[in-house]
C-alpha cells in the first residue's frame, strides 16, 4: 500500500486531450458462435445476420451473392495408398508402378482438386525451401496419359469418391489402391498444444511436419523410413548446424518420405469459407490463416465490423457442433471448441497468417535504448 502511494506521488502529471486517432485493436466486445446447417447459414450470411461462416460445408450453386466474399486456404491433402495385399503390388517396384499409375490419372482431373504430388504446398510458409522439388515432382507427370488397365480403387470419403473413375471403383472389399482426403486443419490441431500462454510446438505449421504425419508408415522397415525418422528426430531436437543445414534436413526428410510408393500425396483440395463484406452489415480488415482459414486467432483479432469502428457484435456460423469438454486443460479439442477458445484465450504468440512463423500478441520485443 505504501509503495503504491509513493509511486503515485512521484508519477509525472499527464493531462488528457482528444482520444487516440488509431485504436490498437478492433476486437469485438461480443462474439457469438452458432452451429448452423449450411442451408440455414447461406441465408443468414446473405442478409448479414451472421458475418462469417467458419469451416467447410457451405457453397453457392449460382455463384457468390452480392456482398459475400470467399476466403481460400489449404483444405485437405489427397492421399493415395497402395494395398499391401493387392496382387498387383507384390514388391516395391510393382507398388511404385501401381501408385504412379493412379497419380497419372489424377493429373488430368479438374474442378476443385489441385494436382500437386508433393506434400509441401504453396499454402505452406516454408514452400520456397521446397519449390524446386515440388516442380520436379509435378513435371514427372506432365503430359502422361492415364493408364489403360483397369484398377480397383476404394474411395474413403465423399471428396475422394469424386476423383475415382466410375469403372475403377472397387465393388467389394478387395481393392488395389485407396484414395482419401486428410483435413490439414485437423492435422495441425492434433499436433498443437497450448500451455501458460504458449502455443507449440514451434514447427506445428511447417510443411515438413505435415508431410511426416501424413506419409510416415509406422509399419514400414526400409532405409527410406529410417532416414526419414532420423531427420525428423534431429529437426525436433534442433540438431542442425545452421539455417542451411536445417533447410537441407527438411528437404531430405520430405524426399525420404516420398520415396515410399505405398503412400503418396497426389495433391490438395482448397477450402473456401465465406464472409459478408457488404456495407454496413459486413466485416472488413480480415486476416486469416493460410492453413486453417478463418478458424484462427488472427482472424478474431483483426476482423472489424463495418457498423462499428472499433467494437460491436460479431456473429459467426459454423457447421461444427460442440462435442468436446469445455475446459482449457483437456478440452476445446473439437472444431467448435477450438474456435471458442480462440475467442476466449489470449496467447502470447499467435501463428502468423501466411507463413510458418509466429507473431507477437500481448508481448513486445522492446530493444533497450543505447547508453548515452
Question: For residue range 83-108, what is the model confidence (pLDDT) as tens digits?
Answer: 989 999 999 899 999 999 999 999 98
- pLDDT-derived band of residue 195, with 50, 70 and 90 as boundaries? low
Flag whether 40 is in a domain. Answer: yes
pLDDT at 21: 43
What span, in angstroms and rounded, lies between the C-alpha atoms of 158 and 10?
Answer: 69
Flag whether 53 is in a domain. Answer: yes
- pLDDT-derived band of residue 371, with 50, 70 and 90 as boundaries? low
Please compute the mean of the pLDDT values over residues 36-43 and round it to a whole number: 90
Full domain range(s) for residue 305:
23-71+273-360
Q: How far is CA 102 from CA 108, 119, 158, 212, in A?
A: 11, 17, 18, 22
For residue 365 the three cell numbers come to 520485443
pLDDT at 83: 93
pLDDT at 301: 85
Residue matched to cell numbers 502455443: 199
DSSP string, 296-313: SHHHHHH-EETTSSS--E
What span, in angstroms and rounded, lies between the C-alpha atoms of 350 and 98?
Answer: 42
Q: Report whether pLDDT(342) > 90.
A: no
Q: How far is CA 131 from CA 96, 141, 207, in A?
A: 23, 16, 12
Flag whether 351 is in a domain. Answer: yes
* Domain count along the chain: 1
Three-state DSSP class for residue 314: strand
What span, in angstroms and rounded, lies between the C-alpha atoms of 250 and 229?
Answer: 12
Q: Report whether pLDDT(158) > 90.
A: yes
Please compute the mean of the pLDDT values over residues 263-268 and round it to a whole number: 96
- pLDDT-derived band of residue 309, with 50, 70 and 90 as boundaries? low
Percentage of the chain beyond pLDDT 90 is: 51
pLDDT at 253: 97
Flag whether 289 is in a domain. Answer: yes
Flag whether 203 is in a domain. Answer: no
What span, in angstroms and rounded, lies between the C-alpha atoms of 51 and 317?
Answer: 8
Three-state DSSP class for residue 257: helix
Please compute the mean of the pLDDT values over residues 145-150 and round it to a whole number: 70
Question: For residue range 202-219, what is the model confidence (pLDDT) as tens digits?
Answer: 898 899 999 999 999 877
Q: Report whether pLDDT(12) > 70.
A: no
Flag whether 259 is in a domain. Answer: no
Lowest mean pLDDT among 97-101, 199-203, 339-343: 199-203
Flag whether 225 is in a domain. Answer: no
More confident residue, 103 or 143: 103
Q: Give 127's DSSP letter.
A: G
Residues 176 and 98 sit within 8 Å (Cβ to Cβ): yes
Please compute the mean of the pLDDT values over residues 315-321 and round it to a whole number: 93
Residue matched to cell numbers 486517432: 21
Please give the mean pLDDT across all residues of the chain: 85
Task: Tell me whether residue 60 is exposed, middle or buried, using C-beta atoms within 10 angstroms of its C-beta: 0 to 12, 13 to 18, 19 or more.
Answer: middle
- pLDDT-derived band of residue 2, with 50, 70 and 90 as boundaries? very low
Flag whether 266 is in a domain. Answer: no
Please compute the mean of the pLDDT values over residues 14-29 and round it to a whole number: 51
- pLDDT-derived band of residue 17, with 50, 70 and 90 as boundaries? very low
- pLDDT-derived band of residue 6, with 50, 70 and 90 as boundaries? very low
Amino acid at each position: 500500500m505504501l509503495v503504491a502511494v509513493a509511486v503515485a506521488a512521484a508519477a509525472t502529471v499527464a493531462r488528457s486531450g482528444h482520444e487516440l486517432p488509431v485504436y490498437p485493436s478492433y476486437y469485438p466486445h461480443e462474439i457469438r458462435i452458432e452451429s448452423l446447417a449450411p442451408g440455414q447459414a447461406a441465408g443468414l450470411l446473405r442478409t448479414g445476420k451472421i458475418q462469417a461462416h467458419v469451416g467447410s460445408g457451405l457453397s453457392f450453386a449460382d455463384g457468390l451473392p452480392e456482398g459475400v466474399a470467399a476466403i481460400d486456404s489449404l483444405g485437405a491433402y489427397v492421399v493415395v495408398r497402395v494395398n499391401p495385399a493387392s496382387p498387383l503390388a507384390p514388391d516395391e517396384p510393382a507398388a511404385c508402378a501401381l501408385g504412379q499409375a493412379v497419380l497419372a490419372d489424377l493429373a488430368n482431373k479438374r474442378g476443385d482438386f489441385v494436382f500437386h504430388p508433393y506434400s509441401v504446398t504453396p499454402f505452406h510458409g516454408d514452400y520456397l525451401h521446397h519449390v524446386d522439388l515440388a516442380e520436379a515432382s509435378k513435371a514427372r507427370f506432365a503430359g502422361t496419359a492415364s493408364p489403360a488397365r483397369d484398377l480397383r480403387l476404394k474411395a474413403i470419403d465423399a471428396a475422394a469418391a469424386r476423383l475415382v473413375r466410375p469403372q475403377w471403383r472397387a465393388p467389394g472389399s478387395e481393392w488395389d489402391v485407396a484414395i482419401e482426403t486428410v483435413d490439414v486443419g485437423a492435422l495441425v490441431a492434433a499436433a498443437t498444444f497450448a500451455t501458460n500462454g504458449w502455443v507449440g510446438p514451434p514447427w506445428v505449421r511447417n510443411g515438413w511436419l505435415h508431410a511426416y504425419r501424413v506419409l510416415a508408415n509406422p509399419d514400414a522397415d526400409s532405409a527410406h523410413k529410417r532416414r526419414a525418422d532420423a531427420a525428423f528426430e534431429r529437426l525436433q531436437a534442433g540438431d542442425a548446424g545452421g539455417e542451411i543445414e536445417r533447410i537441407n534436413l527438411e528437404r531430405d526428410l520430405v524426399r525420404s518420405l516420398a520415396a515410399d510408393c505405398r503412400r503418396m500425396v497426389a495433391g490438395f483440395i482448397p477450402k473456401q469459407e465465406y464472409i459478408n463484406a457488404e456495407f454496413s452489415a459486413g466485416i472488413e480488415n480480415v486476416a486469416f490463416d493460410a492453413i486453417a482459414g478463418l478458424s484462427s486467432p488472427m482472424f478474431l483479432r483483426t476482423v472489424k465490423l463495418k457498423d462499428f469502428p472499433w467494437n460491436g457484435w460479431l456473429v459467426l456460423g459454423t457447421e461444427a457442433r460442440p462435442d468436446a469438454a469445455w475446459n482449457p486443460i483437456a478440452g476445446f479439442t473439437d472444431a467448435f471448441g477450438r474456435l471458442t477458445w480462440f475467442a476466449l484465450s489470449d496467447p502470447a504468440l499467435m501463428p502468423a497468417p501466411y507463413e510458418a512463423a509466429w507473431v507477437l500478441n500481448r508481448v513486445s520485443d522492446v530493444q533497450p535504448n543505447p547508453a548515452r
